[in-house]
Structure 1
Amino acid sequence: MIMGTKSLRLTVAQALVRFLGAQYVEDDGVEERLFAGCFGIFGHGNVAGVGQALLQAELSDPASLPYVLGRNEQALVHSAVAYARMKNRRQVWAVTTSIGPGATNMITGAALATINRLPVLLLPADSFASRHAAPLLQELELPDSGDVSVNDAFRPVSKYFDRIWRPEQLPAALLNAMRVLTDPAETGAVTLCLPQDVQAQAHDWPEELFARRVWHLRRPAPERSMIETAAEIIATAERPVIIAGGGVIYSGAEQALADLCAATGIPVGQTQAGKGSVVFDHPQSLGAIGATGTTAANAIARDADVVIGVGTRYSDFTTASRTQFADPGVKFVNLNIAALDVIKHAGLQVVGDARESLLALTERLGDFRVPESYRSKIGALAAEWDATVTAAYAAGPGEDGRLNQSAVIGAVNELSDPRDVVVCAAGSMPGDLHKLWRTRDAKGYHVEYGYSCMGYEIPGGIGVRLACPDRDVFVMIGDGSYLMMPGELATAVQEGIKLIVILVQNQGFASIGALSESVGSQRFGTRYRHRTETGRLDGNLLEVDLAANAASLGVHVITATTREELEAAIGAAKRAESTTVIHVETDPMLGSPDSESWWDVPISEVSELDSTQAAYAEYAEAKKAQHPYLRPTQ
């Protein structure tokens, strides 16, 4: 201890909790707590350390770091990540778990957070630092290493990883954790492993460690010379297009983007994370782009001579596996706060905050306007797609009377309020939502598609509702994803969190079933069927009552079989004050409108199956359109 410095004697866990409660974040002059709370499940590895510290903090100041008990550790990370996304990464949650499976259950959630570049603080318990009682229950023993635990599996999926072997290491680890959690370019999962004996160990801490600390969220301005070069490239374009990614929304750059588009006439296609960056009926909005995009956006993208990527990481779905931009002379101008993203497709590298970059670019472009003929084409293509969406919303049921999934999406979209939020993550619905959902608010669309994690939807909905308690949250989820993680409905009941869950039952994996068919695998292993005497899963469909399952978890359930019943159920759920699950059966064979795009899924080069042989022939032909996009921009 430094001479003359006042100290507090606390355990490592108590010091950790007190520190987290004193962290604040500032953006555009507005300050708020960085940590909204702590999700967790207690076990022998954290109940006596972090659990005791959270109890002590709650009794002293319930608002300092509220604790929420969940049912599944992976789900808790999903809730935390969804919350951070809705808050534009301005607020985060911590998640505490026990050692062993409680800790490793979080690895999937950590990967999701880091891939989506969303901040979350993970606090898994770890093996004894002292090793007095080794080997411990749930301890990994390796013959060639004594300092490795199962928690080392977090290293590749964390943006920052540390293990607190001694109390003296905590302050430096905490400051590094805050550095990453508040870095708009390098954020993601932060993992601090806490050996269970160290958690309970007492230490004399300097009072300064617990002083109110404000972390500024930086908004780096782009280099003037790069903005000038970007404007020069765009000014030569006849068919420019903007790809708006999640960085537009996280930066709060929606108005700046809308103003640039209105001033120049440049159209916008939106990624999954960027959907909502311009509202659906903006004159320059083409809707979704890429493999799950609209025919309007994809047609414009195919002929674009300059592609302006704003806050996008150019995933394979966005670029249609590098077939989307077909003009042989296409140039890329990349505006992004992350250096990793600005180099993609050998684009012009404009590093900076999305809002600041768009404002600077708008000013520099001056009186640049796209040709009137191009503007007319944009309007005609957008109107054509809008008519396609209207028809999809009105689609009738299949031959057996089951609803069309597009019509289900249409009913939810039309009966929800403009500020309501739709949540989804996996299966066929993310693609259908991306192309069909008419987004009326920047935060009205919440589809996790960086990791596309089955089971995300319900815990994600909890995080969204916690972040925005004044918005209704519609969780769109298929039966396959529902069965992964339904237990968090009980958490919603426990916390009084209202969700409207649209549970779509189609007896299996509709998305992968359609993909399987397209690659020549005949929908093998994608339906929920009984195993027969042949040894194959080709029997009758399983009799699974998902409505009864949901009801058993304490929520109200409504079953809808017709469009009229679905609309009535949505109205009742909107009026309700607690969670409602609307169970509806759909026909998985009724697809949504085609995007006229492609996604690279390799197909067996040799096969005994005619279906696979035919699919490979089509695949080989489609591969010819792939482009490395390595042409210099300047």
Structure 2
Amino acid sequence: MRMQLATAIAKALESAGTEFCFGYNGHGNWKLLDSLVHETRIRTIAARSEDHAVHMADCYWRSRREPPMAVVTTSVGPGSANITPAVASAFFDSSALLVLAGGGATQWYGRGGIEEVYRYGPEEWPLTLKPLTKASFSVTRPDNALEMVLRAYKTAITGRPGPVVVQLPFDIQHTEIELRGIPDLARWTRIARPGPDPQALDEAADLIASAERPLLSVSSGIHNARAWKELADLAERFSIPVETATPGKGAIPEDHPLSLGCVGRAGTLQANQAARECDVLIGVGTRFGDIDTGGWTLHDIPGSTKLVHIDIDDGELARVYPTDVAIVSDARTALLGLATALEPRPQADRTAWLEHLGQLRDKWEAEVAPLRTSDAAPMGYARVFSDLSDVVAEQAPDATVLFDTGHSLSFGPPFLRALSRHYIHSGFFHRMGWTLPGAVGAALARPDKPTIAILGDGSFTMTGSALLTAVEQGVPIVVVVLSNGTLQIEREQMLRIYGRHSLTDYVDEADGKRHEIDFADWARVMGAQGVRVRAPGEIKDALRKALDSGAPTVIDVDIDPESEGYRAVHYRYPSDFAERGLAHPPV
């Protein structure tokens, strides 16, 4: 049979079970959109900006962590260029998605036709995304284009997941190709996960079994491997406490006796002290970045701590710390293998270690209790995050909760209690505002569960138009806007370093006073519900009503612009090229 290429691609994605395509209309992707909307059952969602579409697909994946992934379609030129920071967020947080970008007609390539990236060669836009994707390319002929898209799909979801971009020129989209039938995409993507070297497992088991103070340090590799049960089983069977990097939040429920919470700059006392004192550290699917190691100050590696590092990407092994055992493996497969290897080995007594960490947990909880319960108005972040945690625990313990960057990154890790695996944070690229469009994708992935996004006013003003998509699609996300009229984390640190700040406050030029935005009004103008919260005692009731309403709701919370950010570890960024500061890893 003969079929236009765009239609063949759309039907192949449909046959693979694709539920959603997020996109924006532009002349470069007209035929793709026509085929997706009118010739398949794929639900095609109109975003208000191309980057929103990518964030939606990104968080759709993070809510599922298994195929089918969502697809994004963009136009050409500036429309496609808009996706760059969103694609970078997905890439560095290992989220699988496929971008089908429109392109100009190949007959015009090199002539500088409308929106062609042509100055140094015919249509080179895909090259701009090569460092930020697993693959980015343009198809150049119709007869092998479908096969190239199938390989792109396989690339996105296998190994370490990530985004793949395929540009489809306008004329090639419309060209008819000969097909024997719609290809079975599952047969292209049914690839077993990489497993660990048995000898390396034995070496790791020898180290762990003899350790009196072992520690599991995990991140998003647990989520992408869907290894939540295997992590809990290993920790429980061998009495090993677990700390999480922020992207791994929820890998083990934070009310679990062996959970120490998040580690790092805004980590808990018990997690950070465990990182300092452990004799064997088992890193699983984690990068050991500066945020999660306190600027590489927490771990004594090499030194008193031995490191077993497991990752599906060998490029992350020994990137920061030298390893005693390095294992290339999917996290789930490695944890199963490690449990088997540990089973016959006598284990060191860890009673004192766990008791010590329990005492640290009690001490930390007592220390931060005043922050959690403060009645100050305007409010501090810790009170908002703690009250939200209470409402989620009592009303929606399986909710999806997303939190943004800025001071949300200072307070979300320690004060937002993760009771399930459905806590999402953009843990590396930290793009402001990604949570709002991301919440739409997450809610569509789990339509029977509530979705809550927490972000600052600076972040909301960047992506607030995504609320329109939530209203149009009837997606009842709850958006908590922490409103203080400033980029608070930047302001605080500039004052600390320079004694003054620059471009941080939202002020009226004429009188220098804070420029206040009523985000509840903003929500109502867009067709959502809007609520203003000005006193701590109002937070819980506003959240309960928003969750019960079944409608998109913005809760505008008045935050104290002078409240200090939470820091468990203070470290500075090196500001002198000739100085070797604490932010450098030991060698």
Question: How does the TM-score come out when normalised to structure 1?
Answer: 0.87
Tell me if structure 2 keeps the 8 A contact 1:560–1:566.
Answer: yes
Give, as a single letter, the amino acid of the residue that structure 2 aligns with 1:479.
D
- Between structure 1 and structure 2, the one with the greater Rg is 1
- Per-residue deviation at 1:514? 1.7
Distance in 1 (CA, whole Å) between partners of 2:444 and 2:516 is 35
After TM superposition, the structure 1 = structure 2 runs for residues 125-144 of structure 1, keeping only pairs within 5 Å, are 125-131=102-108, 134-142=111-119
Distance in 1 (CA, whole Å) between partners of 2:181 and 2:24 is 30
Structure with the largest fraction of helix = 2
Match of 1:577 among 525, 550, 567: 550
Distance in 2 (CA, whole Å) between partners of 1:279 and 1:570 is 22
Give, as a single letter, the amino acid of the residue that structure 2 aligns with 1:107.
T
After TM superposition, the structure 1 = structure 2 runs for residues 563-602 of structure 1, keeping only pairs within 5 Å, are 563-595=536-568, 597-602=569-574
Q: Is 1:410 the counterpart of 2:386 in the alignment?
A: yes
Query: Which segments of 5 or more consecutive residues in structure 2 lack a partner in the other structure?
Result: none
Distance in 2 (CA, whole Å) between partners of 1:22 and 1:256 is 32
Give, as a single letter, the amino acid of the residue that structure 2 aligns with 1:206.
R
Secondary structure of the corresponding residue to residue 164 of structure 2: strand
Aligned length: 579
- Per-residue deviation at 1:624? 4.6
Secondary structure of the corresponding residue to residue 108 of structure 2: coil
| Deviation readout 1:63-111 (Å, 9 max, x if unpaired) | xx22111101001100000010110143311111111111111111111
Q: Is 1:558 the counterpart of 2:531 in the alignment?
A: yes
Which residue is 1:293 aligned to?
267
Identity %: 27
Match of 2:9 among 11, 16, 25: 16
Tell me if structure 2 keeps the 8 A contact 1:219–1:353.
Answer: yes
Give, as a single letter, the amino acid of the residue that structure 1 aligns with 2:466.
E
Tell me if structure 1 keeps the 8 A contact 2:572–2:583.
Answer: no
Query: Which moves more between the two structures, 543-552 or 245-254?
Result: 543-552
Which residue is 1:476 aligned to?
454
| Deviation readout 1:558-583 (Å, 9 max, x if unpaired) | 11111222222112111101111111
Which residue is 2:431 aligned to?
453
- Per-residue deviation at 1:592? 4.8
Match of 1:265 among 231, 239, 248: 239
Distance in 2 (CA, whole Å) between partners of 1:208 and 1:464 is 29
Secondary structure of the corresponding residue to residue 318 of structure 1: helix
Assess, with a 3 A threshold, how the Cα gap between structure 1 residues 176 and 82 changes in structure 2: closer, same or farther.
same
Query: Which segments of 5 or more consecutive residues in structure 1 lack a partner in the other structure?
Result: 1-7, 24-32, 533-537, 607-619, 630-634
Match of 1:202 among 176, 183, 200: 176
Match of 1:542 among 515, 524, 528: 515
Distance in 2 (CA, whole Å) between partners of 1:132 and 1:360 is 52
Secondary structure of the corresponding residue to residue 144 of structure 2: helix
Which residue is 2:128 aligned to?
153
Give, as a single letter, the amino acid of the residue that structure 1 aligns with 2:204.
A
Give, as a single letter, the amino acid of the residue that structure 1 aligns with 2:307.
F
- Per-residue deviation at 1:132? 7.8
- Per-residue deviation at 1:137? 2.1
Distance in 1 (CA, whole Å) between partners of 2:360 and 2:5 is 61
| Deviation readout 1:384-432 (Å, 9 max, x if unpaired) | 22334443220121xxx31111111111110112111221221111221
Distance in 2 (CA, whole Å) between partners of 1:132 and 1:339 is 39
Secondary structure of the corresponding residue to residue 325 of structure 1: coil
Assess, with a 3 A threshold, how the Cα gap between structure 1 residues 463 and 132 changes in structure 2: closer, same or farther.
closer
Assess, with a 3 A threshold, how the Cα gap between structure 1 residues 624 and 573 changes in structure 2: closer, same or farther.
closer
Which residue is 1:184 aligned to?
159
Match of 2:352 among 345, 370, 373: 373
Tell me if structure 2 keeps the 8 A contact 1:392–1:593.
Answer: no
Secondary structure of the corresponding residue to residue 92 of structure 1: coil
Distance in 2 (CA, whole Å) between partners of 1:218 and 1:316 is 32
Secondary structure of the corresponding residue to residue 146 of structure 1: coil
Distance in 1 (CA, whole Å) between partners of 2:363 and 2:109 is 71
Which residue is 1:442 aligned to?
421
Q: Is 1:463 the counterpart of 2:441 in the alignment?
A: yes
Tell me if structure 1 keeps the 8 A contact 2:28–2:76.
Answer: yes
| Deviation readout 1:152-186 (Å, 9 max, x if unpaired) | 3122212112211210231331232122122132x
Secondary structure of the corresponding residue to residue 19 of structure 2: strand
Tell me if structure 1 keeps the 8 A contact 2:520–2:529.
Answer: no
Q: Is 1:320 the counterpart of 2:294 in the alignment?
A: yes
Match of 2:201 among 194, 214, 227: 227
Which residue is 1:67 aligned to?
44
- Per-residue deviation at 1:210? 5.9
After TM superposition, the structure 1 = structure 2 runs for residues 345-360 of structure 1, keeping only pairs within 5 Å, are 345-347=321-323, 348-360=325-337
| Deviation readout 1:446-480 (Å, 9 max, x if unpaired) | 11122111120111111111111122111101100
Tell me if structure 2 keeps the 8 A contact 1:39–1:95.
Answer: yes
Tell me if structure 2 keeps the 8 A contact 1:342–1:349.
Answer: yes
| Deviation readout 1:168-225 (Å, 9 max, x if unpaired) | 231331232122122132x211111011122122222332636774632523331211
Distance in 1 (CA, whole Å) between partners of 2:191 and 2:421 is 21
Assess, with a 3 A threshold, how the Cα gap between structure 1 residues 377 and 433 changes in structure 2: closer, same or farther.
same
Tell me if structure 1 keeps the 8 A contact 2:217–2:243.
Answer: yes
Secondary structure of the corresponding residue to residue 287 of structure 2: coil
Distance in 2 (CA, whole Å) between partners of 1:590 and 1:138 is 47
Tell me if structure 2 keeps the 8 A contact 1:159–1:189.
Answer: yes
Which residue is 1:603 aligned to?
575
Give, as a single letter, the amino acid of the residue that structure 1 aligns with 2:389.
N
